[in-house]
Structure 1
Amino acid sequence: MKYVLWLLRIVVGVLFIFSGLVKANDPLGLSYKMMEFFEVWHMPSLISWSLSLSVLMIAFEIIAGVALLLGFAQRVFSMLLLLLITFFTFLTAYVLFSGKIKECGCFGDCIKITNTETFYKDVALLVMAIVLWIFRKRIKPLFSGYPSLALMIITVFFAFGIQWYVLEHLPFYDCLPYKIGNNLYEKSQLPPGAQPPVFETVLTYEKDGVKKDFTTADYPWQDSTWKFVDSKTKLIKEGTGEAAIKDFKLSDYEGNDHTDEVLKAPGYVFLFFVRDVNKARTDNMDRLKQLLDAAEAKNIPTYILSSSDQPSTMAFLQKWNLTKFNLLVVDNTASKTGMRTNPGLMLLNNGTVVNKWSFRDYPKQVDWHN
């Protein structure tokens, strides 16, 4: 039994650490998946907590995996592991059998496995976790005393620290279609012979406590009594194929489409993503302004892509002296996928992503010859 327990400790511990590290690369991705669950379960009060819950869950996966390998405080961690795996199994079963969630995102966006594979993986883990919990008293610490405690403290700082870094900057490895090297126009095209799906962008406004949905053609942009709440893209008609980038549509506030103009523009183009102007981080805005002014002097255009209402966006641009640049509207989900930080800067060259920077990392200058 001793060797069986060791094998189970290694399998479960390593898998938890690996799963946590993969998701720690992009904690926002998990938080968006949590929002999807909360919306389906009609739990709107938890949506604002999704990022905090995401960070805690990812950190716990890493910490619990290390604790299991070290044999640290197994009377506590074996029970916590069992509870967490039970919860994961419930989630994957819900995704598999309800059909209300497309995928669970258990390994983030970097590793895709089917919902069936995910469910059976969690069932196997659940069985192993039950065995580890039953025989928890037989699990001996790898080290005794201060070495184990020191390693656990280091693990805690690492598990939270790596996520803080990613949230302030960008994921270490970009697994999404907007990654460096991808041509956004090409990734937006359907496979040959496929029929495109039909989407509609819906803008939600609120007045006197009543929320109402508008299209980009009829929203009350001139009526300040209506307050912008959210923007979403709804699927109107299913298509027969699917592009890697499905919802990256750029329009002005009058509803005119400028997507091809931007993605097929020759040479360099800056895209400044500012998803929510009311929550945008304004670190290094002076450096950003200097960079965009220098680009303008070289006839390199900048497009500001906002998911907020026009009055709020204009107030933000006026505050930071950015009103001279082209302003376009982008769907909130597309903005989240294209740029994980709010705000962030992307550089295209003939439609291909050359580089991306978070609000922390705007460059002072760019080598236009690369």
Structure 2
Amino acid sequence: MKHLITVIRVFVALVFIASGLVKANDPLGLSYKMQEFFEVWGFTTLHFTTLPAAVIMNVFEIVTGVALLVGWRPKEVTRMLLVLILFFTFLTGYAYLSGKFKSCGCFGDCLPISPFQSFLKDLVLLGLIIALMRWQQYIKQSVPSTIGGIILIVATGASSYMQVYVLNNLPFVDCLPYKVGNNLVEKMQMPIGATLDSFAITFRYKKAGQIVEFDGNSIPEDLDSTYEFVDRYDKLVKKGTDAKPPISDLVFLNANRKDTTIDILNQPGYYILLWVKNPQNIDRNLATQIKELKKLAATKYIPLFIVTGISDMQYWAPLGFSVNEVLLCDYTVSKTAARVDPMYMLMQQANVIDKHPVEQTNSFFQELQQLKSNPEPYIFIPSDKPMPKLKAD
């Protein structure tokens, strides 16, 4: 039993540490997932609490995992783990049983698992933690209490600093479809082998007091005026793979609210997208840097666009942007594409070449200086035509 408890202890500890580290790589992702739960429950006024709660939860998950791994105060630690896993099991159970979520964010965006898998995982962990509590006498400290306390302090500081860093820069590992190296057009296409749901138009008639249903391939031979039409509906014939493109909602609108996505992604050469969710985050010093960078980009014939959900030119004209250089985009898309606000995205046609938070404007300025100029000026004229089918490079 002693060896079995040791194996269980190490396994549970590593799962908690790994789960916490994956989410600490992108605490905003967990924050947005919490907001989804609050929206379902009608607690949207609590959205402001989700980011601090996400950071604290990630630290708590990592630190309790480390404490269990070194065998520090097993009685208190196993009780904390029990509270934590009960909370997680409630969330994953609700996500699975309600059917309102496609994922619960248990391992972040880097290791997406379904609500059922998450719920099953938490039930297994719950059983293992109960076993650890039952036979906690077999959990021995692997280091002295003082050393263990120091390790936990270091783990707390490191996990906290890690999250502060990625919130001001970018995740260490970008697992989202807008990551560097991806082609956005390719990510907007259906996965290979994916199929949609198949439906058949089904008619409902009443004959002699009985409801009769049939589709176009099985029309009754005696269909006449004795049949009374009731209604028609689409009947699911074959379930599809329930797959959708990694990017399904990217749309750039011009000043006339026309879809100009194809015009942007099919530009020849390099161009820059400056994603801005909240213009209040651009102070005077940053505004000066943006204007200088825009001038440098112009000397290399590299267009620079603002991507935002705010069309009011009082924010963008002082930065030197014209109406045609401001692209409107849904806030949800911006949250996924730009984890830091504001953020530069260097593009070449539909390919993401690099990403920089505006705090790194100086380093991006240096990168832009070394970048090869586009061969000729590109004058962006937004199209008012319907968006044609996109094609990847």
Q: From the superposition, tell whether residues 145 and 183 of structure 1 become closer, same or farther in structure 2 (CA, over 3 Å).
A: same
CA RMSD, Structure 1 to Structure 2 (Å): 2.5
**Which has the higher mean CA deviation after the structures are superposed, 251-260 or 136-145?**
136-145
Cα distance in structure 2, aligned partners of 1:290 and 1:54: 36
The higher radius of gyration belongs to 2
Amino acid at match of 1:166: V
Q: Which residue of 2 aligns with 1:364?
A: 365
Cα distance in structure 2, aligned partners of 1:121 and 1:99: 17
Contact 1:190 1:241 in 2 (8 A): yes
Amino acid at match of 2:356: W
Q: Secondary structure at the match of 1:360?
A: helix
Q: From the superposition, tell whether residues 129 and 195 of structure 1 become closer, same or farther in structure 2 (CA, over 3 Å).
A: closer
Q: Which residue of 2 aligns with 1:326?
A: 325
Q: From the superposition, tell whether residues 369 and 116 of structure 1 become closer, same or farther in structure 2 (CA, over 3 Å).
A: same
Q: From the superposition, tell whether residues 191 and 284 of structure 1 become closer, same or farther in structure 2 (CA, over 3 Å).
A: same
Q: From the superposition, tell whether residues 240 and 86 of structure 1 become closer, same or farther in structure 2 (CA, over 3 Å).
A: closer
Contact 1:78 1:129 in 2 (8 A): yes
Cα distance in structure 2, aligned partners of 1:98 and 1:59: 28
Q: From the superposition, tell whether residues 104 and 194 of structure 1 become closer, same or farther in structure 2 (CA, over 3 Å).
A: closer
Q: Which residue of 1 aligns with 2:277?
A: 275
Cα distance in structure 2, aligned partners of 1:79 and 1:3: 21
Q: Which residue of 2 aligns with 1:316?
A: 315
- State the Cα distance separating 1:239 from its structure 2 match: 12
Q: Secondary structure at the match of 1:278?
A: helix
Q: Which residue of 2 aligns with 1:244?
A: 246
Contact 1:282 1:359 in 2 (8 A): no
Cα distance in structure 1, aligned partners of 2:347 and 2:88: 39
Q: From the superposition, tell whether residues 239 and 298 of structure 1 become closer, same or farther in structure 2 (CA, over 3 Å).
A: farther
Amino acid at match of 2:314: A
Amino acid at match of 1:9: R
**Which has the higher mean CA deviation after the structures are superposed, 86-95 or 357-366?**
357-366
**Which has the higher mean CA deviation after the structures are superposed, 74-83 or 25-34?**
74-83
Structure 2: runs of 5+ lacking an equivalent: 198-239, 374-393
Cα distance in structure 1, aligned partners of 2:243 and 2:143: 55
- State the Cα distance separating 1:191 from its structure 2 match: 5.2
**Which has the higher mean CA deviation after the structures are superposed, 74-83 or 256-265?**
74-83
Cα distance in structure 1, aligned partners of 2:77 and 2:283: 37
Q: Secondary structure at the match of 1:252?
A: coil
- State the Cα distance separating 1:195 from its structure 2 match: 9.5
Amino acid at match of 2:270: Y
Q: Which residue of 1 aligns with 2:82?
A: 82
Structure 1: runs of 5+ lacking an equivalent: 198-237
Q: Secondary structure at the match of 2:359?
A: coil
TM-score with structure 1 length normalisation?
0.82
Contact 2:6 2:138 in 1 (8 A): no
Q: From the superposition, tell whether residues 282 and 5 of structure 1 become closer, same or farther in structure 2 (CA, over 3 Å).
A: farther
Contact 2:104 2:114 in 1 (8 A): no
**What pairs with 1:130-209 in structure 2 (closer than 5 Å)?**
130-190=130-190
Contact 1:271 1:304 in 2 (8 A): yes
Q: Secondary structure at the match of 1:141?
A: coil
Q: Which residue of 2 aligns with 1:344?
A: 343
Cα distance in structure 2, aligned partners of 1:338 and 1:241: 20
Q: Which residue of 1 aligns with 2:203?
A: none
Cα distance in structure 2, aligned partners of 1:146 and 1:47: 39
1:280-326 Cα offsets, whole Å, 9 max, x none, are 57774433332221111221111101123x33xx2332454445770
Q: Secondary structure at the match of 2:66?
A: helix
Q: Which residue of 1 aligns with 2:226?
A: none
Amino acid at match of 1:266: P
1:43-64 Cα offsets, whole Å, 9 max, x none, are 1222111111111111111111
**What pairs with 1:6-155 in structure 2 (closer than 5 Å)?**
6-155=6-155
1:126-152 Cα offsets, whole Å, 9 max, x none, are 001112223335422211132111111
Cα distance in structure 2, aligned partners of 1:280 and 1:74: 48
Q: Secondary structure at the match of 2:259?
A: coil
Q: Secondary structure at the match of 2:249?
A: coil
Identity %: 39
1:45-86 Cα offsets, whole Å, 9 max, x none, are 221111111111111111110010111233322111111111
